[in-house]
Every structure is written in C-alpha cells, then in structure tokens.
Amino acid sequence: MINFFKLIGKFFVSLYMWYIMFTMAFIILVSHIIALFFIKPEKICSNVKKMLQFMFKILFIKVEVEMPEDFNYEQSYIIMPNHISFFDIPVVCSTLPNYTFGIEAESHFSWPIYGYFIRKYGTLPINRKNILSSFRTFEKAAQNMKEKNASLLVFPEGHRSENGKIQQLKKIPFKMAQIVKAPILPVGLTGLYDLSPKGGFIVTPNRVKVKYGRPIPVQEYENLKPEDIAKIVRQRIIELTEDDIVPDEEKN
C-alpha cells in the first residue's frame, strides 16, 4: 500500500514537472520569437539563459555548473556533452558561457513554434543522408562562429542513451570540428538519468551538474583521424561526470 501511494505521488509530481516544463518552454519560445524580429540572437541569449534558470528553480531542480580555472569566455567553442535525457538541452543551455547555436535535423524546422524559433535563433538544418549537404552546413557553422564569435553545441552520441551509459561517439561531429577549426569543449552531465531517463514519464527532482572540461585546442586534434578524436573526447566526458556512465562490457 505504501508503495502504491509513493507511485501516485511520483505520478502527480511528474505531471506538475512536465506541465511547468512545457508551459515555460512555450513562454520562452513565443516571447523570444517576437524579440528576434527586433534583436539579434546573440543579444537575447543571456535572457534565454536566465529564464531557463528560473524554470529549474520552480521545478525544484538544482543545476550546478563547474568551469575550468582561467576559462576564456570570449573564445568560440564546439561544446560536446554526453546525451542522456530530454532535459539535457535546457539544462546545458541554462549554463552556456556565451552565445551558442546548434545543428539539428531538417525535420525539426517544420515543427510548430519550435521550428520557427530555432531558425530565427541561428540553429542550422542538416540533412544527415546527404554528405555534401552536411559539409555545407559545417562550412556555414564555421562562418557563423567566426562572424558572431559564437559557440556550437553538438551532442556527439547522436541520440540519448537508453540506460544512462555513454555510447560510442559518431565520427561526423569530429569531421565537422576539423572543418570548423575551433577548440572542442567536453562537458560531463551528472544526475540527468536519475532525473528523467529516456522514454520515461516519471521525473524525480534532484541535483544535476554540468561540468565543463579543459578545452582541446585545434592543434591537438587537427591532424588526427575523426575516430581517434572521438576516443579522446569520450574519455574526457567520462572523467567529467560523477555518474557511472562506462558500459559494463568496457569494464572487463
């Protein structure tokens, strides 16, 4: 009976969490779509960040952020976190060090409201089935980073982890990095799987942590193979998270 009431309690807490999450997302998107008609995206990014931070406060989710000593906030980076939860993007975006845009599948740009917002905000569409088109997107990303002094957010696993363990990283983000020619900034996320695993409805408010690692300079990776860069970045991410994200088969 006690377990039954606990389950009911978790259900209503999760219902509240999702309601607040989508309500705040709607407010953030609509208000900033209007703002983007008059203000450049790099000028409103700090306001988006503050609204996301407020959202997590009313969701009772404590987001902690740790940056390296002597971190250069004026530098453009390719930011690469592990990918665990639906909450990954808003959590990371609430901590970003400067104006950051992303690359998303072309299909996302047809979604109501969200698709219009990401286009106005500077997110670039990518057709993963067309290699030539993908490389044109990377070249555009490099141009945007240089012109706007912007960073680029990429989840190198490609998809959220099913079990909270880190997956093998895709090669294409590292081919892109060699075109963009910007330092790679590995990021470790802690507590996101316990907060909301992929495919689950239950959300458990808790502490989450975003830990930014030491940037990997272009000179350290530009002559390496993409798969070798992927191994380096994957190991850095593992070292930055406080969760046990190493798959069991790799521990033997």
More confident residue, 197 or 5: 197
Provide the domain count of the chain.
Answer: 1
| Lowest pLDDT segment from 2-6, 58-62, 195-199, 242-246 | 2-6
Report pLDDT digits (tens) over 63-82: 999 999 999 999 999 999 99
CB 240 within 8 A of CB 211: yes
DSSP string across 186-243 = EEEEESHHHH--TT-------EEEEEE---B-HHHHTTS-HHHHHHHHHHHHHHH-SS
Instruction: Write the CATH number for 45.
Output: 3.40.1130
Q: If pLDDT is split at 50, 70 and 90, which confidence band does 134 have?
A: confident
Q: What is the mean pLDDT of the chain?
A: 92
Q: Is 64 helix (H, G, I), strand (E, B) or coil?
A: strand
pLDDT at 1: 61
Q: If pLDDT is split at 50, 70 and 90, which confidence band does 138 have?
A: confident
| Lowest pLDDT segment from 94-98, 137-141, 206-210 | 137-141
Is 140 a residue whose pLDDT tops 80?
yes
Average pLDDT over residues 24-51: 93
With a pLDDT cut of 70, the percent of the chain lying above it is 98
- Which residue range(s) make up the domain with 34? 2-250
Report the DSSP pairing between strands 124-126 and 207-212. unpaired
Is 38 a residue whose pLDDT tops 80?
yes
Give me the residues paired with residue 211 across strands: 66, 188
Tokens of 16: 């509240």
pLDDT at 101: 94
pLDDT at 160: 92
Report pLDDT digits (tens) over 79-130: 999 999 999 999 999 999 999 999 888 889 999 999 999 999 999 998 877 7
Q: If pLDDT is split at 50, 70 and 90, which confidence band does 250 have?
A: confident
Report pLDDT digits (tens) over 146-160: 888 899 999 999 889
pLDDT at 213: 97
| Cα–Cα distance, 34 to 216 (Å, whole number) | 37
Report pLDDT digits (tens) over 186-203: 999 999 999 999 888 999
pLDDT at 2: 62
Q: How far is CA 151 from CA 21, 157, 183, in A?
A: 25, 18, 10
Q: Which of 58, 14, 85 shows the shortest CA–CA distance to 243?
A: 85
Helix or strand holding residue 141 (H, E) = helix 131-148
Average pLDDT over residues 197-226: 94
